[in-house]
Chains A and B, each alone.
Chain A
Amino acid sequence: MTYLGGEYDVIVIGAGHAGSEAALASARLGCKTLLLTLSLDSVAMMPCNPSIGGTGKGHLVREIDALGGEMGKNIDATMIQSKMLNTGKGPAVHSLRAQADKKAYQFRMKEVIENQENLLLKQQEATEILVENGEIIGVKVHTGAVYTCKAAVICSGTYLKGRIFIGDIQYDSGPNGLFPAMSLSDSLEKNGIELQRFKTGTPARVDAKTLDYSKMVIQKGDDHIVPFSFETDHIDMEQVPCYLTYTNPETHQMINDNMERSPLYTGDVVGVGPRYCPSIETKVLRFKDKDRHQIFIEPEGLNTNEAYVQGMSSSLPEDVQIALYRTVPGMEKVEFMRSAYAIEYDCIHPTRLKPSLESKDVKGLFFGGQINGTSGYEEAAAQGLIAGINAAQYLRSEQPFVIDRSDGYIGVLIDDIITKGVDEPYRMMTSRSEYRLLLRQDNADLRLTPMGHTLGLISQERYNQFLDKKAAIENEIKRIAEVIVKPTEENNIILDSLASSKIRHGVTLSELIRRPEIKYLQTKPFDSERPLLHWSVVEQVEVMIKYEGYIKKQLLQVEQFKKLENKYIPQGLDFRTISGLRIEAIEKLHEIKPQSIGQASRISGVSPADLSVLLIALEQRRRNSETHKGENRNE
């Protein structure tokens, strides 16, 4: 029996990291939103590592925050350790990472969702999408309720036909012992959405009281915590350490002896796994000459003994897992609380998505997160946010909101998956961005907050604060370019103490700061009229002066990039009718349907010559339509 359960503007299926952001964005933009989850206890759950951020990923979180998303604030409120990675390198690759109290993270996100205006959170399994004339009209759940909608966002994570493997044991399951979603896949396929099988895995959770930390190396957080959210002023808390230990030849021997019991090698797992989350057996097999691998022990929260064993994900049988964990120093007496497993699940081909994350196959249906073939909480949240925003834009008949590759890592992520497709779960890395010097984690607000404000996700109050910060940066850069440091003996003594060469004639303060060995703060003695500035302003001033030449070079490249992104390809252009394109190019262009010459240029198999042909075809089309217009006028 079915019944009408309610009418909504937007329905979000799945309340993980993608679904939470999607639902919050949609509701905050004024859409009446329903958020469906298999279990109210798994909202914003972290079924793998207990941390947010990391290289590339930390950038994504800051961008989500700059646009008005929730992830940054949520981790700021629930972190138990924080670290800025890569501080030995340049500012473009500094990356924030924080250890989360998993349960606290979930509770806070659930609370925010529950208290969000326009948003209703329900525990129900979506079993069918209802499509009429190629357009989404509603979602049916397992109890028989039908909810109508004008747009829907699917963020089903690893739940679709989820199947868990632990050695030779395998069973249908979602992550972390939750129910899988066994019905929705069929409904998607029935509506023309093709699926593929991906795989991922997670290590065991062990009981901390059975670990001997004295045999491991302590890993502490930073003394000064940089928050993720631009709205969090500072974070003060007692930090919890992580611990480092290593595998050894004994561990590796045990793996080799039991390899034939791993489903990855017996052929039982068909899904494609990510290369950057290899199981310990894969690492041992592929890098035979390495006599040890790193293992990090990460606490899962303040109120639990559960600890995450990073570096030891495995799909070996449970008895082998336990034995091999016990070969590691400090883990001789370890007891498991949850076993390591591999999980296989359905996901879509992201090349079937538009830059807005709307499906090319069903109107009004959006996808975000792991179902798009990505991996990671941050990647998921970023897509969820964009999918949620665009569901709202779709409803308001506004232009899709698209961040391009020069605006942010979110743009790189989405453009990569929809243009190039994925053959393994996609993880963000800073090396995926060609404008890395511009897309820094420290300037995410300067890049994206104005967009968030235009959309309506950034309050006027926050926006005003942002404008003040921006003005302060600009003023200070201008000011120090005019402060002259004279070649007095006094000044040269200071320079000498900074291990910097003396000056023979007057130089500007900016010129001094451009020297690699000199920091802005150290130049105070030369600068009697220095205003009191927030550290985040100082940070921007310093980066923009020190790397000015390189930043300018990248800005020029961006200018060229933008020109090609703005050469639009009309929707509905039939690439198969263009003579002169090579067959491979026609096939790829027809499949991806790029929206601009720029996007087309990133499709593998489309050559520069093909793009030239395409430009001519577009010009031909334009002139043809002009001629027709002319004819009409004459009539």
Chain B
Amino acid sequence: MEVLLLNDDTIAAVATGLGGAGIGIIRISGKNAVDIGNALFVNPKEKTLKDAESHQLLYGRVRDPITKKDIDEVLISKMKAPHSYTAEDVVEINCHGGIVSLRKILSLVIKAGARLAEPGEFTKRAFLNGRIDLTQAESVMDIINAKTEKSLEYSVGQLEGRLSQKLEELDGALIGILAHMEVNIDYPEYDIEEISYAFVNNEIIKLLNIIKELLLVAETGKIYREGITTAILGEPNVGKSSLLNTLLMEEKAIVTEIPGTTRDTIEEYMNIQGIPFKIIDTAGIRETDNLVEKLGVEKSRKLLKQTNLVIFMRDISKELSPGEKELLELLKNRKTIYIANKTDSLEREGIKIPTPWIPMSLMKEQGIDILKNKMVEMVYDGTVNQDADYLITNTRHIQLLEKTKASLENAMTTMKIKMPIEVVSIDIMDALEFLRGITGKAVGIDIINQIFKNFCIGK
């Protein structure tokens, strides 16, 4: 928390939304911005960012300083303080290798010492450093909480399912260890078994394995798979599952390792003409009459909020039902592709389907290419783009998991060199705080509560 409020460290984030072309800018701001950029950048003519002039674009590559592997071709520039957006030293890296390289570069920047920026933090610094004038203060203040809430929504969205189970497992184990340590410290004369270093060590090894597993899947992108989030919506039996199956058969489906068994929807991943889509399949609600009724208006709205694109499907041989009308109302201001399925069951052929409905017959395999082209087109023309927030939360989670891991490893060292228990508890507390950073939950008095819950103490 302190770090966050003192505004004297170096922050980084993806500064643009991710279009289909995958061009993105990573912005770094703060006293170490130039050093960080410099450490990652290589130029064919051996120009360095450090020696470059302010506000000049340099061409080159970002290279991983450890593996010496090139990540992406980039254009890089530095803006020396105070002539930059935040009035601090700012470095911007323009890269175009798509989401994967953008994420890779951001994580290199963070490994090199930057902290992932909080929502609205560049603007906040710009204001606090006098770069933005007074009249804009109100809007800056409004942005911060709005953006934070949005990012939390994303974060929570990503945390559903098995990942959040794993995090809870880690959280519970850490609190359990800490409560035991603290009860030994604060209630030494009660007949409570002393927690042993051997036990703590074993627990930590188990926790480290969970974290390593999480990091591995996170880094290979199997858990947080980015893509244009797309929902197929419609009444039962209009052909939604057939459409999904057709798309999955045609495009190589990426089978996710975390099926959302506990929720109403399942996520499928596919690549259409090189663009990643994450299709939210409303399979769990397939058997009911009405999506809105089943999910409730609020939940439907929430689902819609998390999607970048909606494919709405109806059976063209039938009149619009009240449920469909209700759903269409909800979709009014959303990026939507309207599909009129079952043209094959129309009485006579050649009936003109009014725009914006795309005619389709899954039975006759008609209209699928038109849909795919439309999906891709909407990404390329910018109608739909994936929010960088997804990428950010992913990077943030990895960063926090790594810090949790490092703190636990510190705890093991601290025990190994026979430091007393109250020193070990500092490292474990650090671990818990980093872990809690993922969910935004404060540590607060949880440990004291746990002590009283688990142990019978008191005079």
Contacts and interface: CB of A to CB of B under 8 A. Distances in A.
A582 interface: yes
A218 interface: no
Contacts of B364: none
Interface stretch (A167-175, A230-238, A463-471, A608-616): A608-616
B185 A86 contact: yes
For chain A, the bracket of interface size reads 35 or more
A286 interface: yes
Contacts of B451: 431
- With a 10 A CB-CB cut-off, give which of B143, B144, B148 has the most chain A CB atoms: B144
Interface string A416-447: 00000000000001111000110000000000
- With a 10 A CB-CB cut-off, give which of B3, B418, B421 has the most chain A CB atoms: B421
B128 interface: yes
Given A275-B452, A431-B186, A560-B6, A619 B118 contact: no
A86 B188 contact: yes
Given A601-B1, A611-B5, A516 B148 contact: no
Contacts of B351: none
Interface stretch (A3-11, A87-95, A326-334, A530-538): A87-95
B456 A617 contact: no
Contact of B188 (A85, A432, A581): A85
- With a 10 A CB-CB cut-off, give which of B2, B4, B184, B186 has the most chain A CB atoms: B186
A609 B145 contact: yes
Given A604-B444, A616-B127, A49 B459 contact: yes
Interface in A611-634: 611-613, 615-617, 619-620, 623-624, 627
Contact of A609 (B137, B144, B442): B144
Interface in A569-614: 578-582, 597, 601, 604, 607-613
A612 B121 contact: yes
B423 interface: yes
Contacts of B182: 429, 431
B22 interface: no
A55 interface: yes
A555 to B, nearest CB: 13
Interface in B130-155: 130, 134, 137-138, 140-145, 148
A579 B142 contact: yes
A620 B421 CA distance: 46
Contact of A294 (B190, B421, B440): B190
B314 interface: no
B396 to A, nearest CB: 13
B350 interface: no
Interface in A274-331: 274-278, 283, 286-287, 290, 293-294, 296, 310-311, 313
B458 interface: yes
A294 B418 CA distance: 31
A432 B448 contact: yes
Nearest to A274: B458
B24 interface: no
Given A93-B185, A560-B3, A276 B141 contact: no
Given A431-B186, A608-B118, A623-B134, A550 B148 contact: no
A561 interface: yes
B124 interface: yes
Nearest to A283: B456
Given A89-B421, A579-B141, A563 B185 contact: no
B134 A516 contact: no
Contacts of B459: 49, 276-277, 310-311, 313
Given A612-B5, A616-B141, A624-B134, A278 B458 contact: yes
Nearest to A607: B148
B419 A550 contact: yes
Contact of A430 (B120, B185, B190, B417): B185
Contact of A580 (B138, B417, B447, B458): B138
Interface in A485-500: none
A545 to B, nearest CB: 13
Contacts, number: 161
A55 B186 contact: yes
B193 interface: no
Nearest to A551: B423
B347 interface: no
B420 interface: yes
A613 B144 contact: yes
Interface string A368-390: 00000000000000000000000
A528 B4 CA distance: 51
A547 interface: yes
Nearest to A312: B459
A557 B433 CA distance: 14
Contact of B426 (A56, A286, A437, A564): A437
Contacts of A296: 189
- With a 10 A CB-CB cut-off, give which of A90, A91, A290, A567 has the most chain B CB atoms: A90
A509 B164 CA distance: 50
Q: Is the interface of B mostly helix, strand, loop or mixed?
A: helix
Interface string B423-459: 1001000000000000010101001100110001111
Contacts of B417: 516
A592 B49 CA distance: 48
B423 A90 contact: yes
Contacts of B143: 580
A547 B423 contact: yes
Nearest to B181: A431
B191 interface: yes
- With a 10 A CB-CB cut-off, give which of A311, A607, A611 has the most chain B CB atoms: A607
A522 to B, nearest CB: 16
A624 B124 CA distance: 17
- With a 10 A CB-CB cut-off, give which of A49, A93, A294, A581 has the most chain B CB atoms: A93
Contacts of B422: 89-90, 92-93, 430, 436-437
A609 B440 CA distance: 11
Interface in B144-189: 144-145, 148, 182, 184-189
A543 to B, nearest CB: 11
B20 interface: no
Contacts of B3: 560
Interface string B1-44: 11111100000000000000000000000000000000000000
A612 B25 CA distance: 24
A609 B119 contact: yes
Contacts of A275: 452, 458
Given A431-B448, A612-B121, A580 B6 contact: no
Contacts of B457: 276
B120 A55 contact: no
Contacts of A437: 422-423, 426
Given A430-B422, A431-B448, A276 B458 contact: yes
24 contacts: A90-B420, A90-B421, A93-B421, A276-B459, A431-B186, A436-B422, A436-B426, A437-B426, A516-B418, A550-B426, A553-B426, A560-B2, A563-B6, A567-B5, A578-B141, A580-B144, A581-B141, A601-B5, A607-B440, A608-B4, A612-B124, A615-B5, A617-B137, A624-B134
Given A89-B185, A612-B144, 20 more contacts: A85-B188, A277-B458, A278-B456, A294-B191, A296-B189, A429-B448, A431-B451, A437-B422, A563-B6, A579-B142, A580-B142, A580-B143, A597-B5, A608-B148, A611-B4, A612-B4, A613-B144, A615-B5, A615-B128, A617-B141
Interface of B: 1-6, 118-121, 124, 127-128, 130, 134, 137-138, 140-145, 148, 182, 184-191, 417-423, 426, 440, 442, 444, 447-448, 451-452, 456-459
Interface of A: 49, 55-56, 85-86, 89-93, 274-278, 283, 286-287, 290, 293-294, 296, 310-311, 313, 429-432, 436-437, 516-517, 547, 550, 553-554, 557, 560-561, 563-564, 567, 578-582, 597, 601, 604, 607-613, 615-617, 619-620, 623-624, 627
9 closest residue pairs by CB, A with B: A90-B420, A580-B141, A609-B148, A560-B2, A516-B418, A287-B456, A431-B182, A620-B137, A276-B458
